[in-house]
Amino acid sequence: MNIRIPDTLSPLPEAVQALPARIRQADSRTRLIAGIIAVLAAVYVAYRFLSGPAAPPKPPPPPVMVAKIVVADVPVVEHTIGTVVSVATVQVTARVNGQLVKAYFKEGQMVHAGDLLFQIDPRPYRATYDNAIASLAAAKAKAERFARLLQQKAVAPQDADDAKAAYLEARASAQSARLNLEYTEIKSPIDGKTGPIMIQPGNQITASAGASNGTTGASAITLVAITQLQPIKVSFALPQADLPRIQARQMTHSLSVDVDNHGTTTGPLSAPVEFVSNAVDGKTGTIELRATFSNADGTLVPGQLVDVGVRLDQLKNVMVVPHEAVNIGPLGRYVYVVRDGIAQMINVRVLNDDGTRAAIAGKLRPGEQIVTDGQLRVTPGGPVGIVGRHGKSQ
């Protein structure tokens, strides 16, 4: 098969063959520029392969807040929760049987010792008393008459003795009847605040539960409970580890307690500790203490929980830092001190920490700056950037 090439394509081989000749005919300036470009490209490629990846930028030092170490006297105060307890609580009961006819107070009223609380129907007891008085008068007259007759030897001594005994018996009966009549008026035995009335007027009451005749029996029925509020006590417990300090303060009569009753405008109440228990509670490892407060405004109520602070000691001229500056690590407590822009970790011993400031001991100097915020980003021996200062050290 014969294929004929068109005439239009016949000049193509000649054009291709002419290209090397044209390049060879290029001037020296063009060849110089092409060579420089080739060298620069080779240098760039070599630099990329030989220099490796670029180093990342160095991070800035971590920002921290600092405070200065100060020297101060620090009170050692033990904080705990206390319970308000009444000095006395009395269950008022009836001492004679009868109908309760009247109550002379309102529930929740403050009463004083001797105030009339209830009245039991006195009429049966007044009649008994009047009868006893009459019997006493007759027995007394008979005893006196027999005494005169005995002096005249007109009666036997035995008869005179019997008359005297009858008089003494009648006098005792009259005194018992008078007491029962007085017992119909039920009076307050103490100063305090009344609770709810348990038995309302109109009910028949007995001197003891289950005994309608006033004889001894089961527990007496409570008519009302009276709780003494002035003065009042606060009971609290401290760890047995504080016993040496407690005993030392007791020797100097300087053991006192501050009670913070939240919500009052009078501020904390202070009173000396009057009672320290004679034994440590084996279950809790604590010892009970009590203090008495006048409670003139009645803000303390039995059963109420209050915040208690007991001053056990006074540390003199110790280094003080904010509570936030002290950290806990595997080897104990430590702080970061900033020296020449470098954070150094220093182990410390905490002498006292009240939640706001801490008294510490360690290889530190007053006036040095310690880190109070940003410790998690700090590396021991690494630089830090101070961005602010903690509030004034106390």
Q: Identify the CATH number of the domain in which residue 332 sits.
A: 2.40.420.20
- Residue 335 included in any domain: yes
Contact predicate 261/215, CB 8 Å: no
Q: Answer with the one of 202, 224, 246 that is the final residue of a domain.
A: 224
Task: Decide if 291 is inside a domain.
Answer: yes
- Domain ranges, residue 299: 78-86+229-314
Is 146 a domain residue?
yes
pLDDT of residue 361: 94
Distance from C-alpha of 78 to C-alpha of 62, rounded to nearest angstrom: 37
Q: What is the pLDDT of residue 211?
A: 42
Q: In this structure, are 139 and 101 located in the same domain?
A: yes
168, 193, 224 - which closes a domain: 224
Number of domains making up the chain: 3
Whether 55 is in a domain gets the answer no
Residues 300, 375 within the same domain: no
- What pLDDT is stored for residue 37 in this prediction? 80
pLDDT digits (tens, 9 = 90+) for 300-317: 999 999 999 999 988 999
Is the Cβ–Cβ distance between 62 and 386 less than 8 Å? no
Instruction: Output the pLDDT for position 49.
Output: 62
**pLDDT < 70: residue spans in the chain:** 1-29, 31, 45-55, 208-219, 263-265, 391-394
Mean pLDDT, the chain, whole residue set? 86
For residue 64, give every residue at least 6 positions away whose Cβ sits within 8 Å of its Cβ, in sequence order, or none. 336, 338, 343, 371, 372, 373, 374, 375, 377, 378, 384, 385, 386, 387
Q: Is the Cβ–Cβ distance between 192 and 295 less than 8 Å?
A: no
Q: With contact defined as beta carbons under 8 Å apart, do 352 and 358 qualify?
A: yes
Q: Cα(178)–Cα(113) distance, rounded to whole angstroms?
A: 21
